[in-house]
Amino acid sequence: NEKSFGSAKRALYAAILHQQVGLDFIVDQHAADGTLAKYKVLYLTDNHVSQASSKHIAQWVKNGGTLFATAGAGMFDEYNQPNSIMRGLYGVEQTALDAPANAQVGFLKEDLPFKNAIDTVTLKIDGKEYTLPALGIRSRITLKGADALGKFSDGSPALATRKVGKG
């Protein structure tokens, strides 16, 4: 929740609210009690997700849920071990998580205008190519069943998507 991780969560929260979409916060134990069943989309932002919750999230996606995970989200379990369930669900393997000290964004309005990009991401959407800055955090991944939606400047995957079951 510190530095760029915290500000990215706050920015995602504001973006969702500005779309006038209802938003609830789900804590770890609610993944296991059936609460997820009433939701269509889950935004996952924390690096650590318990093994028990990971199993429920994976099943929820297979049943038709849409999971959106930010850089590093769910890559480790409650024991700080690689989370094979979430990595398998995503179809990616994280090889590194870059968060350079001089690139951290603590407060969006104060810090963001003065930070240099740590990389660029190129996306192709509907035949058009877009280049965006990567700010604060960069998750280095290899694809293990997912498809790349965007690439970093070195050609490595920056964004990935994967269909699992109905989700």
Compute CA distances 10 → 16, 43, 45, whole Å: 10, 12, 11
Which pLDDT tens digit goes with each residue over 11-20?
Answer: 999 999 999 9
Res 152 pLDDT > 90: yes
Which pLDDT tens digit goes with each residue over 24-64?
Answer: 888 775 566 778 888 999 999 999 999 999 999 999 999 99
Nearest Cα neighbor of 8 from 90, 71, 67, 96 is: 71
Q: What integer pLDDT is reported at residue 29 of this predicted model?
A: 59
Give the Cα-Cα-Cα angle 22, 49, 24 (nearest 5 degrees): 10
Which pLDDT tens digit goes with each residue over 64-114?
Answer: 999 999 999 999 999 999 999 999 999 999 999 999 999 999 988 898 889
Q: Please list, in sequence order, all residues whose beta carbon lies within 8 angstroms of the beta carbon of residue 3, skipping any fewer than 6 positions away.
A: 99, 104, 105, 106, 136
What's this model's pTM, rounded to 2 decimal places? 0.89
Question: What is the rounded CA–CA span in Å between residue 85 and residue 49?
Answer: 10
Q: Are strands 138-143 and 92-98 parallel, antiparallel or unpaired?
A: antiparallel
Place of tokens 């109905």: 166
